[in-house]
């Protein structure tokens, strides 16, 4: 198996540090707003990667952080007049719900940054003791020019960083490019006690504290979106390798390409964000997942509703074909003589830097071939067995045919009809709609505020 390593800019043989065990960390969200489809693209990609590593027999421990303290979080909480902790809880819950909808189930542990304050303080103290960091008016900064390898992940030189660094003007810093490890307390902000007074952690040290806790000083695979390479991942390397004296901190760095809207990177600052929640109201979560996986994880995606509609038609057609073929196969003993070549092809393309695009193309080819043998239930059963394996790794619910993302619109039509019936005192029709929906576990409750819906 080969993976593309951002650190070396080459495809390398995948050889974990500890034989069959893979320690894998992916940067999670900063929970100050609803997750968007850029998040979905990254987390679906790494979910498929973790699933495939397990399919290959590796024991994967997949760790993801939740950034629950941050400048943006403080600003948003103040705007809403709530505590940062409450803001974090609300949007962490939303993130978990969206990941469940997308079938992102491979993460072993989600780690909240604020649960690791002691570990963060230990790392900051160690960096000061080793001469890589300094305290200034209650804040602590990493002195970038003390770490000779700074820039090796992003391939930037120190002179370029100094000339082009987008940094806040801070009179407490020795150098503009130095970054905060610990931030002195300001009025209205959450704080923790530290050797330097009240304050809170900087962004970069949160992740290294978490990974040191679970993986130690070095581990196998670090993933994230491409825009995290600099400064975030670059700073993680500087922190970790300065503390341990060992390199590489991470053996393989993997990064997803940008998700663009009309040629522009999707971001909250540009106001061109599509949230996962609003998209799953319009489209099946499976459709979104299939859409993202039909592009190689390192390639950019120029998001298009037309392409998404086409993806939905293709996926729905495949699912209906799968159900049709399952009726043909029924209880036949699978004959794997023909299907095995599609399993081999799947492994071949996924072993080449997790090429999910070719894996999906292979799945379409498998169904084309299966349809040529509809008169042979045993062969069809063999094809379906392999198709099920592939779909499971990709996280696609192959034998679930849904209506195309219009369920909530249809439900709203039924609710409107029921409301109209109640206004006309047509209780029989009102009760009929309520009872039929209850049969499919959709519960309608009549309240003073109107009809409330919950799913059992």
Kind of pairing between the strands at 59-66 and 21-26: parallel
Q: What tens digit of pLDDT does each residue of 142-194 get?
A: 999 999 999 999 998 876 665 544 445 678 899 999 999 999 999 999 999 99
Topology given in CATH for the domain delimited by 2-256: Rossmann fold (3.40.50)
pTM: 0.86
Angle between helices 407-423 and 427-439 (to 10 degrees): 150
Q: What token pair was written down for 186?
A: 């300001």
Q: What tens digit of pLDDT does each residue of 365-386 get?
A: 999 999 999 999 999 999 999 9
* Neighbour tally for 355: CB within 10 Å: 18
Q: Considering the chain, tell me which residue range(s) the CATH 3.40.50.620 domain(s) occupy.
A: 2-256
pLDDT at 456 over 70: no
The pLDDT value recorded for residue 123 is: 98
pLDDT at 271 over 90: no
pLDDT at 119 over 80: yes
Q: What tens digit of pLDDT does each residue of 156-166 get?
A: 887 666 554 44
Second CATH level (architecture) for the domain 268-394? Orthogonal Bundle (1.10)
In whole angstroms, give the CA distance from residue 299 to residue 397.
24
Q: Considering the chain, tell me which residue range(s) the CATH 1.10.730.10 domain(s) occupy.
A: 268-394
Average pLDDT over residues 110-134: 98
Average pLDDT over residues 249-257: 98
In whole angstroms, give the CA distance from residue 269 to residue 278.
19
Sign of CA dihedral 371, 376, 377, 380: negative
Categorize the per-residue pLDDT at 283 as very low, low, confident or very high, splitting at 50, 70 and 90.
confident
**Dihedral of the alpha carbons of 25, 27, 33, 36, in degrees to the nearest 10:** -90
What radius of gyration do the chain's Cα atoms show?
26
In whole angstroms, give the CA distance from residue 171 to residue 31.
29
The pLDDT value recorded for residue 284 is: 86
The pLDDT value recorded for residue 164 is: 47
């Amino acid at each position: 198996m080969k993976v593309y390593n951002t650190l070396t800019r080459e495809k390398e043989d995948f050889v974990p540090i500890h034989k069959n065990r893979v320690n894998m960390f992916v940067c999670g969200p900063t929970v100050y707003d609803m997750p968007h489809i850029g998040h979905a693209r990254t987390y679906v990609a790494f979910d498929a990667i973790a699933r495939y590593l397990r399919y290959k027999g590796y024991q994967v421990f997949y760790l993801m952080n939740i950034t629950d303290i941050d400048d943006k979080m403080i600003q948003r909480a103040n705007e809403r007049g709530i505590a940062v902790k409450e803001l974090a809880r609300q949007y962490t819950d939303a993130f978990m719900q969206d990941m469940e909808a997308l079938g992102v189930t491979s993460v072993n542990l989600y780690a909240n940054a604020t649960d690791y304050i002691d570990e963060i303080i230990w790392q900051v103290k160690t960096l000061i003791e080793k001469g890589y960091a300094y305290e200034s008016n209650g804040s602590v900064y990493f002195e970038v020019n003390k770490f000779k390898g700074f820039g090796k992940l992003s391939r930037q030189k120190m002179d370029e960083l100094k000339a082009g660094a987008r940094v806040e003007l801070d009179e407490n810093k020795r150098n503009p490019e130095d970054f905060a490890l610990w931030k002195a307390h300001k009025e209205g902000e959450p704080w923790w006690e530290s050797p330097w007074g009240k304050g809170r952690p900087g962004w970069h040290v949160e992740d290294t504290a978490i990974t040191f806790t679970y993986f130690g000083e070095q581990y196998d695979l670090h993933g994230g979106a491409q825009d995290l390479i600099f400064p975030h991942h670059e700073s993680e390397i500087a922190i970790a390798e300065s503390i341990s004296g060992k390199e590489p901190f991470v053996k393989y760095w993997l990064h997803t390409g940008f998700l663009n809207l009309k040629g522009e990177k999707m971001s909250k600052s540009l106001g061109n964000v599509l949230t996962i929640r609003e998209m799953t109201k319009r489209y099946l979560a499976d459709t979104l997942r299939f859409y993202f996986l039909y592009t190689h994880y390192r390639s950019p995606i120029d998001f298009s509703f037309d392409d998404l509609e086409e993806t939905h038609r293709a996926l729905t057609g495949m699912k209906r074909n799968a159900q049709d073929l399952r009726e043909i196969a029924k209880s036949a003993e699978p004959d794997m003589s023909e299907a095995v070549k599609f399993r081999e092809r799947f492994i071949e393309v996924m072993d080449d830097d997790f090429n999910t695009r070719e894996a999906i193309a292979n799945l379409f080819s498998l169904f084309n071939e299966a349809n040529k043998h509809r008169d042979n239930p045993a062969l069809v059963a063999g094809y379906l067995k392999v198709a099920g394996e592939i779909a499971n790794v990709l996280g696609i619910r192959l034998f679930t045919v849904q209506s195309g993302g219009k369920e909530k619109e249809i439900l709203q039509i039924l609710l409107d009809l029921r409301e109209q019936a109640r206004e006309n005192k047509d209780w029989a029709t009102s009760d009929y709609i309520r009872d039929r929906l209850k049969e499919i576990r959709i519960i309608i409750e009549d309240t003073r505020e109107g009809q409330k819906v919950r799913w059992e």
